[in-house]
Amino acid sequence: MQNKTFKIGFIGMGTVAQGVWKHLEKSFETMTARFGAKYELAKACVRYISKKRGVDIPLEKLTENPYDIINDPSIDIVCELMGGTTDAFDITISALKAGKVVVSANKAVICKRGAEIFETAQSNNGAYFFEASVAGGIPVIKVLREGLVANRFSKIYGILNGTCNYILTRMERENASYDSVIADARRLGYVEADESLDIDGWDAAHKISILAYLAHGVWIDPSKDMLVSGIRGIRLEDMVWAKEFDCRIKLIASVRKNEETGALFAAVYPAILPLTDVVANVNEVYNAVSLTGDVVGRTVHIGRGAGQDATASAVIADIADAIAYLQGKPARPASNVVAEKSRMATLEEVSDEFYLRMEVPDRSGVLASVASDLAGEGISVELLQQRKHETEGKAWLLFTTHKTTEAAIKRACEKLKKADYVFDEPFVLRIWKSE
Ligand code: NDP
Ligand code: HSE
């Protein structure tokens, strides 16, 4: 056991940071033994000191100025647990430049500015740990970088947003309304400060972008190079349809690589999964990450993907690594992959099977027109059903397709959106193939 006491400062003392504080305080003796060193919960920066918190922090340890922590030479480790991409970025860079080891759960800032953060850590002989940024309590970053170092990953996919999984599970089980369920998710501490990050798929996109970087060494910008859609458009009819076919709808984040062409395709969208896929059976706030490696084959990792304690577990693991690093253990490079040849796939190169739902007038000729628009794009229909609509004079048309390209579906949907025999844009789900 070293004599030095490692001092930890927190930027942000919300849901996650309070979990870390609570567990490190409660289990001091155990954690000291496991870390091989003593530690001190030295300071915490918040927006409002006067706010009531779930942990008791002495007033003299609280500040509203992050630089009270960054510029304190006695502080060794800075946990950035405030979120956001602007102040959080500046604070992270300043902390690394001040020689701190930084621990973060902030997937948004890593996805946006990870390259600069890792570069700053490296050029200052520092270290940046970010296990909690992907899949909450599942140590998937360690698994990918260390446990599965032998592998190239042709397919990574899974459920990476706890909030959406919680909402989909409750909607399906209880026929609950979206509004009642999101309120519970918020109360449980799952939801981002900006909840559209969760619901519209961006949070999962940030996470799959980080996994893609770790696996393939390239940064994928979700707003430019990823298909991203969230769970807002899903209706109970879709869930019922999926159930009839022994399937379930999940928000799936994925990155696939064609090893022959080097083409990478990354996406976040709701997809229909067969119940035979273990991922389809991962419910509530749980996340699942399926990693297919060329050496190991497929592995699937499941655990709570959001919430105070699950996330605190990952942050504390990083604090252990930060202390090990400060005791002389070298830090791992951010990505194992240095210069892998890859490029982003075009939508013409990516083929899947699709489910399309359309709201149409209940009159003759509509079906033929829709089918003709799909055929015009070379889309072959596998199954077609007309379902009763709650409004007189309207009907739901549900199609599934044989394998077709993303590009063809996009063109067909654009055409159908403009047609006077379809009320709204067709709603699209991918039919997920697990292998
Ligand atoms: P919260 O909103 O609960 O907490 C944010 C904290 O940061 C608050 O204490 C807030 O202060 C403080 N803060 C915000 N802006 C500033 C600022 N400009 N200066 C000083 N302090 C500031 O967020 P979470 O704990 O839920 O999330 C923190 C991070 O962890 C985010 O990056 C999030 O994406 C990530 N994360 C969250 C998970 C979860 O389940 N909640 C899971 C995995 C990752 P005050 O309390 O005074 O308002
Ligand atoms: N809001 C995120 C989620 C928190 O629901 O998954 C965990 O990253």
79-135 pLDDT, tens digit per residue, is 999 999 999 999 999 999 999 999 999 999 999 999 999 999 999 999 999 999 999
What is the predicted pLDDT for the residue at 435? 72
Looking from the CA of 97 toward its CB, the CA atoms found within 13 Å total 9
Atom of ligand 1 nearest to the CA of 53: 46
Q: Which ligand is nearest to the CA of 188?
A: 1
Measure the CA–CA gap between 2 and 327, rounded to whole angstroms.
Answer: 9
Which residue is it, tokens 């918040």? 46
45-79 pLDDT, tens digit per residue, is 999 999 999 999 999 999 999 999 999 999 999 99
267 within 8 A of 254, measured Cβ to Cβ: yes
- 337: pLDDT strictly greater than 80: no
Ligand 2 mean position, distance from CA 278 (Å)? 21
Ligand 1 mean position, distance from CA 254 (Å)? 26
What is the predicted pLDDT for the residue at 377? 97
Q: Whose CA is nearest to atom 36 of ligand 1?
A: 105
- 210: pLDDT strictly greater than 70: yes
Ligand 2 mean position, distance from CA 132 (Å)? 10
Query: With DSSP H G I counted as helix, E B as strand and the rest as coil, what are the percentages for the chain, rounded to 5?
Result: 40, 25, 35
Question: What is the side-by-side order of every strand in the sheet holding 62-63?
Answer: 62-63, 38-45, 5-11, 77-80, 101-104, 128-129
Q: Whose CA is nearest to atom 7 of ligand 2?
A: 306
CA distances from 129 to 80, 229, 298 (A): 10, 29, 26
Atom of ligand 2 nearest to the CA of 160: 6
What is the predicted pLDDT for the residue at 1? 63
**Residue 379 CB partners (closer than 8 Å, separation 6+):** 401, 402, 404, 408, 409, 412
What is the predicted pLDDT for the residue at 270? 98
Ligand 2 mean position, distance from CA 136 (Å)? 7
CA distances from 297 to 151, 237, 253, 294 (A): 9, 36, 19, 6
Average pLDDT (292-320) is: 98
Measure the CA–CA gap between 140 and 144, rounded to whole angstroms.
Answer: 6
Q: Which ligand is nearest to the CA of 168?
A: 2
Q: What is the value of pTM for the model shown?
A: 0.97
Measure the CA–CA gap between 332 and 355, rounded to whole angstroms.
Answer: 42
285 within 8 A of 305, measured Cβ to Cβ: yes
What is the predicted pLDDT for the residue at 332? 82
Average pLDDT (197-211) is: 98
What residues line ligand 1, using a CB cutoff of 6 Å? 12-17, 45-48, 51, 66, 81-83, 87, 105-106, 132, 136, 189-190, 192-193, 306-307, 311
Average pLDDT (321-349) is: 88
b/e per residue 323-339 (b: at least 16 CB within 10 A): bbbbeeeebbebbbbee
The neighbouring-strand residues paired with 10 are 44, 79
Number of Cβ within 10 Å of residue 196's Cβ equals: 12
Average pLDDT (187-196) is: 96
127 within 8 A of 104, measured Cβ to Cβ: no
| Higher per-residue pLDDT: 180 or 284 | 284
> What percentage of the chain exceeds 90 in pLDDT?
93
What is the predicted pLDDT for the residue at 434? 81
Q: Whose CA is nearest to atom 48 of ligand 1?
A: 47
Q: Whose CA is nearest to atom 4 of ligand 2?
A: 306
Ligand 1 mean position, distance from CA 80 (Å)? 9
Atom of ligand 2 nearest to the CA of 191: 1
What is the predicted pLDDT for the residue at 2? 67
Q: Whose CA is nearest to atom 30 of ligand 1?
A: 105
What is the predicted pLDDT for the residue at 369? 96
- 272: pLDDT strictly greater than 70: yes
Ligand 1 mean position, distance from CA 189 (Å)? 10
Measure the CA–CA gap between 413 and 401, rounded to whole angstroms.
Answer: 13
Atom of ligand 1 nearest to the CA of 190: 40
Which residue is it, tokens 């042709």? 154
Mean pLDDT of the chain: 96
Number of Cβ within 10 Å of residue 401's Cβ equals: 21
Ligand 1 mean position, distance from CA 82 (Å)? 4
What residues line ligand 2, using a CB cutoff of 6 Å? 136, 161-163, 190-192, 198, 203, 305-306
Average pLDDT (147-174) is: 96
- Average the pLDDT over each of 20-29, 158-167, 178-187, 204-213 and give the range with the smallest value: 178-187
Measure the CA–CA gap between 339 and 346, rounded to whole angstroms.
Answer: 21
**341: confidence class by pLDDT, cuts 50, 70, 90:** confident
Catalytic annotation, pick one of 7, 207, 250, 257:
207
316 within 8 A of 24, measured Cβ to Cβ: yes
417 labelled catalytic: no
What is the predicted pLDDT for the residue at 141? 97
Q: What counts of helices (H) and strands (E) characterise the chain?
A: 15, 18
Atom of ligand 2 nearest to the CA of 185: 5
Q: Which ligand is nearest to the CA of 131?
A: 1
Atom of ligand 2 nearest to the CA of 311: 7
